Structure 1
Amino acid sequence: MSASTPIDGFATRIRNGDGGGMISAWIGVPDPLFVSHLAQEAFDAVVLDMQHGVWDVVPAANGIAQGRLAGKPVLVRIPVGEFSLASRLLDAGASGIIAPMINSVADAEAFVKYAKYPPLGERSWGPTLAMNHMKLPASDYLASANEKTVAIAMIETRPALDAADEILRVDGIDGIFIGPSDLSIALSNGAKLAPDTPEMDAVLKHLVARCRAHGKFACVFGSNGERAGELLKMGFDFVIAGADTQQLRSGAASAIAAARKVQAG
C-alpha cells in the first residue's frame, strides 16, 4: 500500500467531513477471517473491539492486515485505560484508536501521550508494520503519522458528558465516539439500558453540535442499520450499523426463516 491509498487518506477524510457519513463494521470475534469477509462489503472502515470483544494483539495485527488487503482502514477500540496498546496497534498499521471511558481532560491527555508522536504526545518509535503497509521510509512516516491516524475519545459517562468541551479542546484528540448504551445507563443511574430514545437523541445532537463548535468529528454506535441511518441524518460523521455477532445471527435467522417458509408452502 502506498501513502496515497484511500486507507491512509481516511484520517483526512473524516477530519474534513469528506466521507459523506461513513458506515463501519464492528468486529468482536477475534478472527482475522471475519475482517476479510466483512471488509469485502461496502463498509467504509472496520473497527476491531478489544474492550468487549476478545481480540489479542497478534490476531488484531493480522486483522489490520486483512482490512488493508481488502482496501479498508481498520480502527481498534482498546480496553479501558490500556493506552500502551494504542502505540502497538498503530505500529501494526491501524488507522485509528478508540479509547473507552475517557472521563476527563487527564484521561484524554494520557491517551494522546501514547497515540501521538511529539510534539502532541510521547508515542514510542517502532512502526515497522505500519511503514511496510504504507511503503514509507522512517522519516516520512514520522512526519505524517500524527496526521494519518486518529485518536478518538469515547464519551459514555456523566463525567465525560459534563467534560465534553474540555476533552474536545485537548490537542491530539481528533474526535469523539459516543457509546449510547453506557451513556443511557449512566444518565439513568443504572435504571435502564435505553440507547435509542428521544431523550438520548437530544444528548447525541448536543454532542454533535459541540464537535462542530470545536472542529472535531463525531462517531457513534448504532444498534442496527436503520438506527445507523438515523444517526447519519443527525449529523454523525462515522457510525456503526450493528455488531458482527448480531449480523451473523440475523443472517442465519433470515435464512432459516426463508427455508421454513418455502417448506411450509
Structure 2
Amino acid sequence: MTTHALLQALRANKPAFGAWLTLPGLFHARTLAKSSPHLSWIAIDFPGAAESVAAIEGAGPSPIVRIPATGVSSSTSWQIKNALDAGARGVLVPMVSSAEKAREVVADSKFPPIGRRGFGSPFTHGTWNITMPQYLETANEDILVMVQIETKEAVEKVQEIARVEGIDVLFIGPYDLSISLGYPPPSPDPHPHIEEVIQKILAEAHTAQKKCAIYCISGAQAEKRAAQGFDMINVTSDIGAMSEAVASHLNIAMHGSANP
C-alpha cells in the first residue's frame, strides 16, 4: 500500500513542502517526484494529468491536480472527477470566490452520502495499490479538497469559505491575489498590503481549523512561510528549478564558485 505523504504531514502538524509540475511526461514527473525524500507533494498543473499522477504515486510525494477550470465554471465538476479517477490524492481548484462554490467543489470530490462523485474507473484503486472496497471506504476521508483564495471576492468571503465543511486547505496564490487587488505581482515578495491580506487568510484558515497553503518560488521564501505557520508550502517549480540550476552551474563553470 502506498503512502499519502501530504496527508501524513498535515495530520502531524508539520510543514509539507512541495513542488509545481508544469511540463507533461511520465519520466519528467517521476524524476521530479524522486528528486528529494523531503518532498511531500507535487501539484500537477496542466491538462491531461493522468499519466503524471500514476508516475508520481508510489515515488514518495502525494500527487495533487490543479484543475484548469476556474470561478463559477460548471466544468469544474467533470474535471475534478477526471483528476480523482486518475488517482490524485487531492484536487486544487483555482479562483474559488464563494462558500457556495466551495460546497460545490466538496460535493464533486466526495462519494455519497457526503457528496455526488460517481464511481466510474476500474483503475483508480490500483493506482493507490489497494482494493476497490478499500478505496471506496477511505477516499472520502483521505482525498484532500483545496480551494485557491486569489480574488477580491474570495478575500471578502474568506471566513465563509474557510468554514465550509469538507474543505481541507485554503491555498493562497500570491500572483493572482496581487493582480486582482490592483497591485503588481510579487518581485519576489508581495506588496506590504498584500502581505497583510495573506496573513488574514492564514488566520481565518486556522481559526476555522483548516490548513493554509501558499505558493513560493524559492527555499528562502518557503522557510519564511513555514516559520509563519503555513502548513503546505510550494518551494519551486520544475521549470524554475531547471532554469536556475543550469544558470548556476554555468556561472560556476565560467567564473568559479567564489564569484557568483
State TM-score, norm by structure 1: 0.87
CA gap 1:109/1:247 in 2 versus in 1, 3 angstroms: same
For this pair of structures, how many residues does the alignment match? 248
Any gaps of 5 or more consecutive residues in structure 1? Answer: 51-55
Which position in structure 2 is the counterpart of 1:86? Answer: 80
Alignment counterpart, residue 155 of structure 2, candidates 152, 158, 161: 161
Alignment counterpart, residue 44 of structure 2, candidates 25, 42, 48: 48
Alignment counterpart, residue 150 of structure 1, candidates 140, 144, 152: 144
Alignment counterpart, residue 126 of structure 2, candidates 109, 132, 150: 132
Question: Which secondary structure does the structure 1 equivalent of 2:44 belong to?
Answer: strand
Deviations 1:184-229 (A, max 9, x none): 11122xx422352333222222111111111111111012221111
Question: Which secondary structure does the structure 1 equivalent of 2:119 belong to?
Answer: coil
Deviates more, 1:32-41 or 1:134-143: 134-143
Distance 1:152 1:145 in 2: 15
CA RMSD in angstroms comes to 1.8
Distance 1:245 1:216 in 2: 30
Deviation >3 Å, runs of 4+:
none
Residues 27, 244 of structure 1: 8 Å contact kept: yes
Please say if 1:120 is aligned against 2:114. Answer: yes
1:133 deviates by 2.3
Please say if 1:193 is aligned against 2:185. Answer: yes
Which position in structure 1 is the counterpart of 2:19? Answer: 25
Residues 64, 91 of structure 2: 8 Å contact kept: yes
Which position in structure 1 is the counterpart of 2:50? Answer: 61
Residues 9, 16 of structure 2: 8 Å contact kept: no
Specify the code of the residue in structure 2 equivalent to 1:220.
Answer: I
Question: Which secondary structure does the structure 1 equivalent of 2:65 belong to?
Answer: strand
Aligned residues: percent identity? 29
1:38 deviates by 1.2
Deviations 1:31-64 (A, max 9, x none): 22221111112211111012xxxxx32xx21111
Which position in structure 2 is the counterpart of 1:6? Answer: 3
Any gaps of 5 or more consecutive residues in structure 2? Answer: none
State TM-score, norm by structure 2: 0.89
1:129 deviates by 2.4
Question: Which secondary structure does the structure 2 equivalent of 1:236 belong to?
Answer: coil
Which position in structure 1 is the counterpart of 2:65? Answer: 76
Distance 2:85 2:31 in 1: 24
Residues 112, 172 of structure 1: 8 Å contact kept: yes
1:119 deviates by 2.5
1:142 deviates by 1.6
Residues 121, 172 of structure 1: 8 Å contact kept: no
